[in-house]
Amino acid sequence: MRHRQFLQRRWLAPIALSAIVAGGAMWLYPPGETTRAGTGDRDAPDAQTVVPELSLQPQAGTGTGPDTSAAAAIAARTPETLGSAPFARSLEGTDIDGALKADANGRLIVDLGTRDFFDYFLSTVGEVSPEIALERIRALAFGHLPHEAARQAMALLDQYLDYKQQALALQAAPLDPARQNDPAYQQQMLEKAFTDLQQLRQTVFSPDAHRAFFGMEEAYGEYTLATLDIARRTDLTDGAKTALIDWHRNQLPEPLLQTERRLLETNEENRQRMETMKTADSPENAGQQLMDLGMAPDAAADVTAYLREREDFDARYRQYSEALAQLKESGLADADEAAQQARLLDQYFPDNKQHTWARLKMLGSNQP
């Protein structure tokens, strides 16, 4: 099974989401129950006050609560898959991202996996109706968690839907067309959007739920904005900029720090490889140097073969250009010259790949 990738989380359609939120959260609970104190079970938690009672699962480097045994122990959780017949085609062949979990005391454990679980189902809105997606969340919560944990999950989902609706309104604010290409204005608007979202999250969620859902995301956002600001400064030397960016990077939570370091190492490795391929005096020399840099022999052999092919193409293209220049001096009629040019192209580039390379190169050099 594979997991769906939420590199960019899809928002619910504004109209559908507005209709659900405007209708309240009654659909989130089993028939005969309500979310409000004083209507039904007198001990039922209120949807807006249930979040502080949740069990917060600690996440490395995010500070999302104490590492207690009750919070860390998972006593119940939703399943990892919807089975062979999921309710939406886009979910076929996937495992459920995240999970709803409860601790030994029957409280909902809240971590980033809770948000991933919500997003996994909400991402199908548009493919299926909002009611279908939300009902599947409700059914899994009440079918696999203690009753209280399921109620808490539905209250938190209600808040998450409210947050998404308000976030959509924030994102709809237009840029100033006269300034949208100004880097300083772009930086200013990025910082404003980031701050506005943080403030909205603080308003909608409890501090613990806010950190659990968005702690890692906001940590990386702060780092990104800081690096953009440092890069734009003209009062710093390159060395000072590097030192300041390194300092901000080291403030990242450990999982993000490790990912960022691997990315930097990969970028540097790619830069060295590109420089090697550019400066090597032969394809064979390039392949050997790439292996010296740690590339696997079979991969280096593929690069060598490709560079040989490009070398052969460049030689053929020089010969083709010379023949084409002679053709243009022959004084043929336009139609005859075009026919001869096509014949030359086929003659010098019988291979389909090199034929395409030649046509692309002609387009790039504005040759007919």
pLDDT in tens, 98-114: 999 999 999 999 999 99
Q: Are residues 159 and 222 in the same domain?
A: no
Mean pLDDT of the chain: 80
In a domain, 358, yes or no: yes
In a domain, 231, yes or no: yes
* Cβ neighbours of residue 148 closer than 8 Å, sequence gap 6 or more: 45, 106, 107, 108
Q: What is the number of structural domains in the chain? A: 3
Q: How many CB atoms lie within 10 A of CB 192?
A: 12
Length of the chain: 368
Query: Of 165, 163, 161, 155, whose CA–CA distance to 203 is shortest?
Result: 163
Q: Are residues 64 and 204 in the same domain?
A: no
Provide the β-strand partners of residue 94.
2
Task: Mean pLDDT check: name the lowest of 105-114, 123-132, 304-313.
Answer: 304-313
DSSP 8-state assignment for residue 92? T
Q: Are residues 7 and 151 in the same domain?
A: yes
In a domain, 177, yes or no: no
Domain stops at, among 171, 200, 225: 171
Rounded to whole angstroms, the Cα distance separating 129 from 112 reads 25
Both tokens of 9, joined, read: 């989380």
31 Cα distance to chain centroid: 38
pLDDT on residue 365: 60
Q: Are residues 21 and 134 in the same domain?
A: yes
Q: Are residues 63 and 153 in the same domain?
A: yes
Provide the β-strand partners of residue 110.
56
Task: Mean pLDDT check: name the lowest of 105-109, 302-306, 313-317, 332-336.
Answer: 332-336
In a domain, 260, yes or no: no
Q: Is the dihedral of CA 162, 168, 171, 177 positive or negative?
A: negative
Domain stops at, among 171, 191, 222: 171
Task: Mean pLDDT check: name the lowest of 30-34, 194-198, 210-214.
Answer: 30-34
Asked whether 159 and 114 are in contact (CB, 8 A), the reply is no
Q: Are residues 70 and 108 in the same domain?
A: yes
In a domain, 272, yes or no: no
The domain of 36 spans: 2-171
Q: Are residues 187 and 220 in the same domain?
A: yes
Q: Are residues 304 and 156 in the same domain?
A: no
In a domain, 288, yes or no: yes
Q: Are residues 18 and 60 in the same domain?
A: yes
Q: Are residues 57 and 163 in the same domain?
A: yes
Percent above pLDDT 90 for the chain? 38
DSSP 119-168: HHHHTTBTTB-HHHHHHHHHHHHHHHS-HHHHHHHHHHHHHHHHHHHHHH
Both tokens of 291, joined, read: 């292996």
209 or 266: whose pLDDT is higher? Answer: 209
| Model pLDDT for residues 230-257, shown as the tens digit of each residue | 988 889 898 898 889 889 988 988 888 8
Query: Of 6, 100, 105, 107, whose CA–CA distance to 51 is shortest?
Result: 107
Asked whether 344 and 317 are in contact (CB, 8 A), the reply is no
Provide the β-strand partners of residue 272.
none
Mean predicted confidence (pLDDT) in 271-283: 88
pLDDT on residue 355: 85
65 Cα distance to chain centroid: 26
Angle value at C-alpha 286, between 285 and 288, nearest 5 degrees: 65
DSSP 8-state assignment for residue 206? -
pLDDT at 73 over 60: yes
Q: Are residues 163 and 18 in the same domain?
A: yes
Provide the β-strand partners of residue 101.
77, 109
Q: Which uninterrupted H or E stretch holds 2?
A: strand 2-3
Rounded to whole angstroms, the Cα distance separating 18 from 44 reads 26
In a domain, 270, yes or no: no
Q: Are residues 147 and 189 in the same domain?
A: no
pLDDT at 70 over 50: no
- Which residue is it, tokens 């720090």? 257
Mean predicted confidence (pLDDT) in 100-129: 95
Task: Describe the crossing of helices 130-144 and 14-22 by its angle, rounded to 10 degrees.
Answer: 50
In a domain, 273, yes or no: no
